[in-house]
Structure 1
Amino acid sequence: MAGRMNKTNGAQQRPIRVTMLGLRALFGAQGGIETHARDVSQGLLEAFPDGVQLEVIERQPYVDPNRQVPEWATKLALKAIWSPRSTGAEAIVHTLLGVLRAGLTRPDILHIHGIGPALLTPLARLLGLRVVVTHHGQDYAREKWGAFARMMLKTGERFAARFANERIVIAPGLDAQLLAMYGSQFHYVPNAAPAFTRGSQTHMLRALNIEAGAYVLHVGRIVPEKRQLDLIQALAQLPDARWKLVLAGGNDHPNAYEQLVRSAARADKRVVMAGVLPPADINQLLSHTGLFVLPSTHEGLPISLLEAMAVGAPVLVSHLPSLDALGLPAECYADAENVAQWANAMRERMAVATNPPQAVDWSPWMAAFSIDSVARQTFAIYERALAH
């Protein structure tokens, strides 16, 4: 697309100038929001090279000055702004500074990611900005937050519903739920499936001392709602010493739950703490796992699940509304917090596992999650926001 066209005289207009805000860093920071923003940015720049100018505001403490960015990212502007590095304050302080900066730079669209940062939506509108908010999940349901933080997150959700020009949700079914709650339309635009392909390399398996097809893999932050402790307890009920549990991920801020997980892992030699890994290493672990697991009590549309399905890994996930809406086979689900049920489900998968593991054909489920499709839907929402 060469740019926007004037509907009255066909004259070419300048590209849509978009500023994204609400994430830590586009490269090098773990998290679903960061991955989503990166995928959407890539898709927009590739699908509309002359139709969009993209700026991403990042939090300074998460930006590695020596990082390498892919070729497509040289076409966007990355702007690091100071923020405190504390769980309670960094997002809101950084978003405030980002909104004030946008008030000066005047983008056509300020795209805010997350219901916490959406608390600043009214200020952005007062500054005369057109705002699109992406709702990445009902974060107030996460176990890590206290009463005050949950109240503020709910307020951010309400402000997004009331004040944003357009609103996006990434979890299936959440659009209808929020419409019923607030009477405002939210557009369902899912996370994009990564461009992962099933790999053959095995150096990470050797480094972690694990065997192809004989390990259960979890990828995600070590926080209470991810339920890594449930996985360790489920593994303890399984007698096969050959199988291991690999926990890939970490946490930006040390917390008591992470210490509990690490302590439990030290007590069982079958538990491998792999830490935060780059995408290429995650791809390798997913390609050879006997089972990818997601026992969470809260999820939107987890990118780690899409990554696992993209490489054909067998999966086992919690019964949650957003995950049930994917319509996976019944054997792919277990009840969250039911350790015995998870142990039984894992035992059944272990009994039929092969080495090398056999790929599952998830293609019927993956068609809706292409980066190009997600980018084009997002661009259409930008145009809607500019139209009113």
Structure 2
Amino acid sequence: MRIAMLGTRGVPAAYSGFETCVEQVGKRLAARGHEVIVYCRPAYVKTTATHYLGMRLVKLPSIRTKGLDTLSHSGISTARALLRDHPDAVVVFGVGNAVFCRFFRWSQVGVAINVDGADWARLKWGPIGRRYLRWSERVAVKTAGAVIADSKAVAAYYQQEYQAASTFIPYGAEVPADPGIETLRRFNLTPRQYLLAVGRMVPENGFHHLIEAYRTVRPAMPFVIVGDAPYSDAYQRQLRAIAPASVVFTGYQFGAAYHELSAHAYAFLFGAQVGGTHPVLVEQLAHGNCVLARWTESNAEVAGDAAIFFHDLPELQRDLARLTADPALVESRRRLATARARIFDWDEVTNRYEALLRKVARANGGHSAS
């Protein structure tokens, strides 16, 4: 099959879970003989290469504003796919891009959309954005050939809200067996003597609560925060204003640097309260990290009994104090995390994507057997 992937910033993966999924699934589909096209935004994908891990990269422009960056790029990508690339099947990422699914259906191109939870609930959206995203959920179930839910909680939401069946496909985990410590040296860190948080620096990821808890508990180790986000300068200023001097903001760290920081942390703190399966949570389990996470249905579904969950700031403070005072508890949670991570396998995830794309291509007259 010729498979197109659109709606993300592109690969190499350097931003969020969608890009991780595109890279991990796309490279495996390419290795199986499929032609994989990934539409990329030049502002995020700096490589000049036309191919990456077997995938063909197509760079297209976008309107660089918070509300239009993704939508404009996805519209241009849709036009390019239909007028020039002619895929047999398309994976659209992000429910906000559901409006483009109908164009693929009208052109008899199989289309599946990964909706990624209740995106309208993200705090960054105002009333207009939230209404648009709620409307997009309805469009997705009406116009896509298949809706992909990355957690059972997301699947249940679409069933309850829209009486719509979805295909459950989670994320996987791929981490290096023996990460080095060069990045730790760069930030003056000692293995197993720092706390870690990773993610986009937006309010729904709860970094303000993590910093507040750290400031209150005052553990004898630094708190390393890995991440950044476009259009979030005000929130980042707020975080830096409340952070003690022992909080280390590293900015984006990808590839080897990200894995080195993940592999050697004392514990991983996770405050996300919106979305389905978060790949970073899966990856931290795979690194064998003790995880202290905000309770949501999706987070609990991923981590199970391997994580310690908090529901509010006081509970987070109590749990953080307990963890930092009890290394034996942390070690026991690391063993549970390693065992839990074994259920997340990118090869199996790719099997499910491949089968689903063959199904939607077949339903629309594509070359599903190729």
- Alignment counterpart, residue 129 of structure 1, candidates 102, 109, 114: 109
Q: Which residue of 1 aligns with 2:348?
A: 373
- Deviation of the 1:211 alpha carbon: 2.8
Does residue 269 of the first structure (1) align with residue 245 of the second (2)?
Answer: yes
Amino acid of the structure 2 residue aligned with 1:269? A
1:77-112 deviations in Å (ceiling 9; x for gaps): 110111121111111111111111222132111211
Indicate the residue corresponding to 2:323 in structure 1. Answer: 349
| In 1: Cα distance, 2:292 partner to 2:50 partner | 34
Distance 1:330 1:367, change over 3 A: closer
Cα distance between partner residues in 2 of 1:342 and 1:161: 37
For residues 69 and 120 of structure 1, do their structure 2 counterparts lie closer, same or farther at Cα, with a shift above 3 Å needed? closer
Structure 2 contact 291–307 (Cα < 8 Å) conserved: no
Select which of 39, 54, 72 maps to 1:57: 39
Counterpart of 2:71? 92
Letter in 1 for 2:359: R
Question: Hey, what does 2:360 align to over in structure 1?
Answer: 385
1:209 CA drift (Å):
2.4
TM normalised by structure 1 equals 0.87
Distance in 2, Cα, partners of 1:352 & 1:163 = 52
Measured against aligned partners, the alpha-carbon deviations of 1:145-168 in whole angstroms (never above 9, x if no partner) come to 111111111222211111111121
Call closer, same or farther: CA 1:69–1:214 in 2, change over 3 Å.
Answer: farther
Mapped pair 1:25 → 2:10: yes
Runs of 4 or more, structure 1, over 4 Å off, are 66-70, 356-359
Correspondences of 1:94-173 after superposition (within 5 Å): 94-104=73-83, 105-173=85-153
Displacement, 1:274? Answer: 1.1
Residue pair 2:51, 2:57 contacting (<8 A) in 1 also: no
CA distance in 2, matches of 1:357, 1:290: 9
Deviation at 1:35, TM superposition (A): 0.8
Matches within 5 A, 1:161-200: 161-199=141-179
Distance 1:243 1:68 in 2: 44
Q: Distance in 2 between matches of 1:322 and 1:136?
A: 11
Q: Which residue of 1 aligns with 2:367?
A: none
Offset at 1:276? 0.6
CA distance in 1, matches of 2:341, 2:201: 27
CA shift for structure 1 position 234: 0.5
For structure 1, which runs of at least 5 residues remain unmatched after alignment? 1-15
Q: Give secondary structure in 1 for the equivalent of 2:39.
A: strand
Contact 1:95 1:117 in 2 (8 A): yes
Q: Does 1:323 align with 2:308?
A: no
- Shift in Å at residue 202 of structure 1? 2.4
CA distance in 1, matches of 2:21, 2:303: 22
Seen in structure 2, the aligned counterparts of structure 1 residues 196 and 102 have a Cα distance that, compared at 3 Å, is same
How far off is 1:225 after superposition? 0.5
Taking a change above 3 Å as real, the CA distance of residues 349 and 120 of structure 1, as seen in their structure-2 partners, is same
Cα-to-partner distance string for 1:309-367 (whole Å, 9 max, x where unaligned): 111111011110111223622861111xx22211111111111227x978424344223
- CA–CA separation in structure 1 for the residues paired with 2:307 and 2:174: 24
Deviation at 1:180, TM superposition (A): 2.5
Separation of aligned partners in 2, 1:348 and 1:166: 45
Is 1:119–1:155's contact at 8 Å kept on the other side of the alignment?
Answer: no
Structure 2 residue ranges without an equivalent (≥5): 364-370
Paired residue secondary structure (2:148) = strand
**Does residue 76 of structure 1 match 2:55?**
yes
SS in 1 for 2:24: helix
What is the CA RMSD across the aligned residues, in angstroms?
2.1
1:211 corresponds to: 190
Change (3 A) 1:107 1:152: same
| Cα distance change on mapping 1:84 and 1:294 into 2, 3 Å | same
Q: Deviations along 1:199-228, whole A, 9 cap, x unmatched?
A: 3x3232232223322221000011000111
Query: Contact 1:27/1:69 (CA < 8 Å) preserved in 2?
Result: no
- Alignment map for 1:277-316 (pairs within 5 Å): 277-316=253-292
Query: Compared with structure 1, are the counterparts of its residues 126 and 365 closer, same or farther at alpha carbon in structure 2 (3 Å cutoff)?
Result: same
Greater C-alpha Rg: 1
Matched residue of 2:95: which SS?
A: coil
Moved more, 253-262 or 216-225: 253-262
Change (3 A) 1:251 1:155: same
Match of 2:366 in 1: none
**Hey, what does 2:313 align to over in structure 1?**
339
Paired residues of 1:43 and 1:374 also in contact (CA < 8 A): no
Residue identity matched to 2:63: P
Cα distance in 2 for residues equivalent to 1:112 and 1:343? 39
Superimposed CA distance per residue, residues 45-91 of structure 1 (whole angstroms, 9 cap, x where no aligned partner): 23x22xx2111111232221457976xx1x22110111121111111
